[in-house]
Each structure stands twice: as structure tokens, then as C-alpha cells.
Chains A and B, each alone.
Chain A
């Protein structure tokens, strides 16, 4: 076991990319992603990372250059946030459709307008159906481990899909945490060099990115969809292998204190640590609540989530994004459709918190807990237009 080191999570993320021996980085600076790309540039400039760093002129070109580099056979990494993710939106679909195993660290941040550089999940939620595998991280150690695992998942011949590693802007990206780094030797054993199936090379010419007529488009998209659906088996396998090698075991769905209660929170990202703290404090008062933490968001871990929800009566879905006119937040809608289509008798509530960097404290979850306990079940049967609550909003 290696010693833990106090380090800023962004810097740790770039060290993880270095440990993965990335060969091409194409990135454009945007707050709060900057520390990742700054440190990567430094590593390349110092010769500590043998890679090409392309200083592109926009995120659109960042993802485009990543496509070109990945198609040519180089292990490719990038990172962005918010507006940058939206600017590359068009190319996100193409990267997954062309089955290019790019890895991107998305430092989650609010979308304009109003402009906000602070954290929430508006950016990733707007990109959630782009065909990328999506992991969410609760802490810095998970960020490091996820980036290393992401390449192994992406490059698996059964997968060949891009992977997005999500970490919350500022509340995770800019904090200093004790992190254990695996040695280069250990990572090399876990993650062998990228051995692409097809590359752009004159010795074996291939055509990549052809267009499909109506007779073939459906088949092409179906094949891609099956790849992401079945990628979960590989993801679980990679997580297991990682656990065996490094002693840190991950699962697509993590649970906390769920065995003692039928009331659970469900959330994504770093906010889960606050919920865990709230759960511990409630426990001290003799109250029980559990947490379901989705580490894997795409492909949606249906089986694992249904298992975690078994026997639960009240579910509180916590989201860091506005529904934008939808019935509820995107995570709520997926969990609700999953639970109800499986005939589960569960009352699900939707709370929106932490938009644009608004602090969310353990006390907030304790308030939510009290509110839930004070209201009768089946509240979601309400025929109101607005079915979600926004914590702390001044109306």
C-alpha cells in the first residue's frame, strides 16, 4: 500500500491521466477545470509525461482533435466544464457513435444564464444521453481511481466507447484531500498500452465516419446502444479487478446504511459525503436514513438500483439541476420510471439543491428528512404542475 498524500483533487486528476500514460491531450481552459489542464501542460512541458498537448482554440475543437487523435490510435484525454461541455455537445455524440475510447474529466459546473462558474450538474445532465459511459465521483480518491479505470473500460474491445468521469466543480475539484496513488508499475500492469482495433494508417486504409441511409442508421445506432448496455459487465469486471489489485473496491451503485431503514436518499457526486454525514447525525438521534450513491450513471445501473431499492418505501432523489420544464429532475424521472415500471410501491420525492455553487450542508438533508417524515406517503400523486422542491430558494 502506498502512502496517502494531501493534494488538490484537480492535480490528482492530472496525475491519474499521467499514470494512465495518455498520449494526446487536447483541451481548452475553463473554470473550474483549469487546474487539471494547467498541471497536464506542466507535466508535458517538463517531460514527465511523454504526450502531445494540443492547445486548441475551443472545446469544440478539443473534442474534434480528440476524435482525430483517438482514431489515429493514441490514448486520448481531455477535460472541460459547463459551457465547454455544451460547446462540444455535437461532437460528444460523434465520439460515441464512432466508438472512440476517449476519456474526459468533466468538472461539473452550472450553465449560463445567469453566468455562474460554480458547481452543479446542469452541464452533465444536458449531455447525459450522448452515448458516453458516465461515472460520478464522491471524493478525490474516486477521481484518481475512476480515471485509471475509465481507460480500461473505454478501450475494452467489447466496449470501445468514450468515458466521462464527473467530479463536482470546486466542492471536489478544488479541495485538498488525502489521496493514495498507485505506482506507475502497478498501473501499467492493470492498464496495458492501448491496442486499437482500427486506426487511420495508410498501410491499412479504413473509412471512418461514413453516413448511413435510413436502411442502415437504425442498425448502426442499435449496435452502439447494445455496446453501452453490455458495457456494464465490463465496468463491473474492471471495478473488481481494480479492487483486487489496489484494495479499493467499487460498485456501480454504492449504499450507505440502507439495511436499517426503508427511507433512502439517492444522489450523484460529492454531495453524497454530506448526506452520509447527515445520516450519521440522524443515527445519533435514533433516526434512520440510508443513501444510494450512483457511481455509474450511464449505462443506467438498472439491476443494481432495483436491488438497492428493494423493500424501500420512501425515496428522496437529490439533484443539482433544474428540470427545465420537465415534470421533475432527470434523475428523479429515471428512478421513478424504473421503480414504477417494476411495480414497486415506493413514494419518490424530488429535491433540488446546490445550484450554481449554493452551499448544501448536512443540516439541509436533516431538514429534508424531517419534512419527509412529517408528510404522508403518496405525496407524488399530487396533480400540481410543480412536483419538486428547491431547498433554500427565496421565492
Chain B
């Protein structure tokens, strides 16, 4: 076992385990905390793929902004001590669970059965394309239009969020 593979398995176990905790916790704050832990594990996995820019952006955007927003809303609504929301087992959940596990088995079957992705080694260009310089250059040349459209999307989201969350003056 090299140090890379040990890191990979630890981070993967962390990611999958924390994902389980996210969907199984009753308290939304605790679930959100496990999701943050999950994001850190993913950032570590991105680093193991030599994608340093996306790894840092993952921390800045997801852990630093989106999850703070989530925690803020959960705390604002004071959902933390809500025990009334009892969730029982219904037929719908059983069917949903079975179907999800079917999808999982299918995906595993495909991934483990395809020889072309078994022995794939990390490309030599991986380190080169993950740098800030390369991503920035690509972002402002080849991907300029989607990048600019993103700004429209964000503006629309800001306006939408303010309109929706604003208290009506009636």
C-alpha cells in the first residue's frame, strides 16, 4: 500500500460514511455538519486527482458559503429542537430504497465489469490541467460563454431569493 492508496481509501470511507450519516440523522444541524465533513473528504479526493483549484473552490464555495447559508437558515428557523417531525416507514420509502439499491448494484456491476477503466492510470496531464493558470485560461477562452451566462444565473438567483424570502408588507 502506497501512501496515496491509503489516503484514497481513508477519504473514500469518510465520504461514504458521512453521506450515510447525512441522510440518517434526525437533527438537521448534525446532518449539515456531516455534509460539511463529506465535502472535506471530497476536496481531499480532488487533491488526490491533482485538481488543486477545484479542491480549494470546493472548500470555499461549498463548505465556506453554501453550508454556512444552510446552517444560518436552520438556526434562523430554529429547527434544531424540532422533535415533532416523526418519520415512519411507509411503502413508498421501501420501494424507493429497493429501487435505489437496484441502481447501486447496476452501477457497481458496470464499473467492476468494464476492463477499460480497471487499469487506467492517472494521466500525465492531470497535474497540468488542474492548476489555477490552466483553468483560468480555459475559462476565459473556450468556456467564456457559459462563464458569462453563469453571472446571469447568479443574478437571477439573488433576485429570486430576495423576492421569495422577503416579508410581505401586508
Same assembly: no
Residues of chain B at the chain A interface (Cβ within 8 Å)? none
A residues lining the B interface (CB < 8 Å): none
